[in-house]
Amino acid sequence: MRGFQDKVWDRLYRSHTLKNVPNAYIFSGPAGSGKESLAIQFSKILNCQNPNKFGCDNCSSCLRILQLQHENLKLIFPLPAPANNSSSPGNLVDSKNIELVTKLIAEKSKDSFFKIKVPGSNRILINSIRDLRKSIYLKSDNLGRRIILIFDAHLLSMGQGEAANALLKLLEEPPKRTSFILVTDQINLVLSTIISRCQSISFPRLDDEFIFEWFSSKISNIDEVNFFVGLSDGNIHMAKKLILFQKQELVDLINDLIKVLLSKNSSMWRKFVQTYSKLSKDDLGMFLFHLTLLKIWFQSTNRLVINISHHLHKTQLKSGMERFANLYKNVDYLGIVSEVEELKNALTQNLFMPLSLTTFLLKIQIKINIK
């Protein structure tokens, strides 16, 4: 707990000590900012048998919370729709996915920063909320507070929004000694009626110091640490992806992407569009990872131009940024970042990806002011 999101934690702990814990929270902020981890930690102190600011980590309650096995803890996250398309609450996970889901939860219990992602999951199922409704009003002899953790809460609204509407009814008449904690990277996609019934807790990106310490515990070379910290952009999920790569692999990848964006070569554009159209279908996570690298490079270059220090300015990427800044003087850096985000949104809207990618290249050249 110590070392990240201290201000957020102080606010949560204060509500606990003042016995002013609401029936529902919504934790929102950038991806990888520790929202799920803090939600689990907060669940722990609300049920700790020897309470202190961080929980004792020794009592049976703390241990069961950390293992995600406590009777007072309910975990809800996106799941694939059952193959039989049943709406029965008992059919939450197909038999073929039960083992995988169990493994993912076990991994989450070992590493609270681990992100549970079940293949084929693009929404929170109505069955998950119906299953919750069956048990949430049952009388419990357990001490402490019942906590319902809903990860990726913005996916409640996907499909016809049945899950969001069902949850809204529970929030309107919450059981005693129960708190919902909704966690989302995209609060703009959560129903306003749900948000209005939650106490909102905003998370900033993780401090570079925390990310620096995380990488330093795994990498001894200080230049590589600065490189990876700069590309993480305060996102622990990004950090965990980056460490799977060699530094030079990432340097080459970024340089290749920048070359395409600056090029007028039609064959180079065609190859880019073909490659990334396929990648968006075959490996969406890697597609988004590449876009994030691109966004961070432009953000860091902008900081270089306006003399704001950044970890990437201590790496070999700095020379390429300087060359770019000297060649292109009237770059709309904020506009470029917006275009990257717009391309990400195209994926959720099921737009024709070859057209979206071609439009992206054209718009980026306009933002760079390439003649």
Q: Exposed (0-12), middle (13-18) or buried (19+): which is 38, by Cβ within 10 Å?
A: buried
Question: Can you tell me the mean pLDDT for 214-234?
Answer: 94
Q: What per-residue confidence (pLDDT) applies to 3?
A: 65
Give the whole-angstrom CA distance, residue 319 versus residue 300: 12
Q: Which of 63, 59, 77, 67 is nearest to 148 (CA)?
A: 77
pLDDT, tens digit (0-9, with 9 covering 90-100), for 52-87: 888 899 999 999 999 999 999 999 999 998 766 555
Q: What per-residue confidence (pLDDT) applies to 89?
A: 45
pLDDT, tens digit (0-9, with 9 covering 90-100), for 21-39: 999 999 999 999 999 999 9
DSSP H stretches of helix in the chain: 6-17, 35-47, 60-66, 95-110, 126-136, 162-172, 192-195, 208-216, 222-232, 236-242, 247-262, 266-282, 284-305, 317-327, 333-348, 353-368
Binned at pLDDT 50, 70 and 90, residue 92 comes out as low
Lowest mean pLDDT among 43-52, 90-99, 158-167, 255-264: 90-99
**pLDDT more than 90, % of the chain:** 78
Binned at pLDDT 50, 70 and 90, residue 1 comes out as very low
pLDDT, tens digit (0-9, with 9 covering 90-100), for 124-144: 999 999 999 988 887 776 778
pLDDT, tens digit (0-9, with 9 covering 90-100), for 307-342: 999 999 999 999 999 999 999 999 999 999 999 999
Binned at pLDDT 50, 70 and 90, residue 110 comes out as very high
pTM of the predicted model, to two decimals? 0.87
Residue 95 has pLDDT above 90, yes or no: no
